[in-house]
Chains A and B, each alone.
Chain A
Amino acid sequence: QVQLVESGGGVVQPGRSLRLSCAASGFTFSNYGMHWVRQAPGKGLEWVAVISYDGTNKYYADSVKGRFTISRDNSKNTLYLQMNSLRAEDTAVFYCAKDLMTPVAEYYFDYWGQGALVTVSS
């Protein structure tokens, strides 16, 4: 069965960096686009970034552009999110999510990880 397992969350000071990982299994990882979505405590969902199945196309929300970098290693079935210059408002649960469809790029997320909590605080 499909599994997405995030890791790397924790408490970090403002201005510092953190890298999240998402280990995928149960499907052909290299065939699907992947996303990061976050949810601040008690708030709604906010899309963060997408990477195409082969890593050639990447897009970001304006709120993280220039600070966050999405990447993937298809040989390791792993998705990453490098987060730099973190701010208090980045505090959230970060989910990795899989595109429902391939190869067409239509963004519906049929599987989500359990989430990794990132807390930005001094």
Chain B
Amino acid sequence: YELAQPPSVSVSPGQTASLTCSGDKLGEKYVCWYQQKPGQSPVLVIYQDTKRPSGIPERFSGSNSGNTATLTISVTQPMDEADYYCQAWDISTVVFGGGTKLTVL
């Protein structure tokens, strides 16, 4: 199973960033998203398609339908500049997307 993410997305501060993740019938699976800044370990920002772990700002939201899951960052801030990875799973395997580098400029 493969997940496809655009290599890069650019957004202006204060605007909304939409990061996509595509896979065959992805809407039938649960998806989560990680943020990874340079030199740091990944951080879970969305799980079960739409849920935010404690401590994650409300400006992070997720959706998943059809063949595409989307991570939306509203009122994007410079601190949101990072690599973002989508991930799906079944009982015996975990698959990551290739990652999207979000640039805030």
Contact = CB atoms under 8 A, between A and B. Distances in A.
Contact of A110 (B44, B91, B97, B99): B44
A45 B100 CA distance: 12
Contact of B98 (A44, A106, A115): A44
A106 B44 CA distance: 14
A45 B32 CA distance: 13
Nearest to A110: B44
Interface in A15-57: 35, 37, 44-47, 50
| B interface SS class | strand
Contacts of A109: 34, 42, 44
Interface centre among A44, A47, A114 (most CB of B within 10 A): A44
Interface centre among B42, B83, B95 (most CB of A within 10 A): B42
A30 B23 CA distance: 34
Contacts of B44: 100, 108-110
Contacts of B92: 59
Interface residues of B, number: 24
B19 to A, nearest CB: 14
B48 interface: yes
Interface in B82-105: 83, 85, 87, 89, 91-99
Contacts of B34: 45, 109
Given A59-B93, A95-B41, A108 B99 contact: no
B53 interface: yes
Interface centre among A37, A45, A105 (most CB of B within 10 A): A45
A61 interface: yes
Interface string A99-115: 01000011111101111
Contacts of A105: 91
B2 to A, nearest CB: 12
B32 A114 contact: no
Given A112-B41, A112-B42, A115-B41, A106 B48 contact: yes
Interface of A: 35, 37, 44-47, 50, 59, 61, 95, 100, 105-110, 112-115
Closest CB pairs A-B (n = 8): A47-B94, A107-B89, A112-B41, A108-B47, A59-B92, A44-B99, A45-B96, A108-B32
